[in-house]
Amino acid sequence: MIEAVIFDMDGVLIDSEGIYIEWLSDYARKMGYSMTEEMLVKTVGLSSDMSADYFDSVLGKGLGRHFWYGYLELCDTCPFDYSQVLNPGVRDLLEQLKNSHLKIGLASASDRKDIEDMLEANDIGRYFDVVLSGAEFQESKPNPEIYLKAINELDVLPERCVVIEDSDYGIRAAKSAGTRVIAKEEKRFGFSQEEADIVVKNMEEAWAWIFPRIFLNDTIENEM
């Protein structure tokens, strides 16, 4: 039985990751660094601190961190129209979940301001019972802390919760928290989504997997 659904944001609710990689590539080129797309996409799904550590390993300790936070400062000056990157079917899925009386959470590695801007731009904040930012936790995904907190605030058992994720780290964090995981298919960034319970192409397929499990008791579901 499913009683709650928790969403990741970037890559799941919104298709933002490709845009961020384009910005990062342009910034690296302007700063005189030669970095391949393969190197840059390794930041997808990472927290800000983890990205800074990654660039320290690529460019040298301190230098990489300076590069990353310079990029973030530039991003703050660039307008991002979140209303243009909402993934197809998201609004319908949220409405279906709410009409089915499921609890809904959002647990993203992004800063809270970015999360709130996205929710406001798309007018979907009203659907969420819990909204958490990874920036407010000591450790980011794949540490399950953010999902454990979301589960606790939603007041559900982990096994009655499903998380919709896309990245390796996010899937691993959710599985470590004891939930089931739907992976939104993503082939651009080299993610391994093998740990997910199911991989779906879109939100319609996610709903088709969730819907029958709202009504099944745990015994029957385990026999499926």
pLDDT tens string 159-204:
999 999 999 999 999 999 999 999 999 998 889 999 999 999 999 9
Q: Which CA distances in Å does 80 have to 16, 29, 75, 83, 118? A: 9, 21, 9, 9, 9
Q: Kindly list the catalytic residues.
A: 8
Q: Is 209 exposed, middle or buried (0-12, 13-18, 19+ CB in 10 A)?
A: middle
| Alpha carbons 217 and 107: distance in angstroms, whole number | 26
Instruction: Write down the pLDDT at residue 80.
Output: 85
* pLDDT of 75 above 90: no
User: Residue 207: what residue type?
Assistant: W
Confidence of residue 221 (pLDDT cuts 50, 70, 90): low
Radius of gyration of the chain (CA): 18
Instruction: Write down the pLDDT at residue 223.
Output: 45
* pLDDT of 224 above 70: no
Give the global pTM.
0.89
Q: Which domains does the chain have, with CATH numbers?
A: 4-15+83-223 (3.40.50.1000), 17-77 (no CATH)
Residue pair 195/171 in contact (Cβ under 8 Å)? The answer is yes
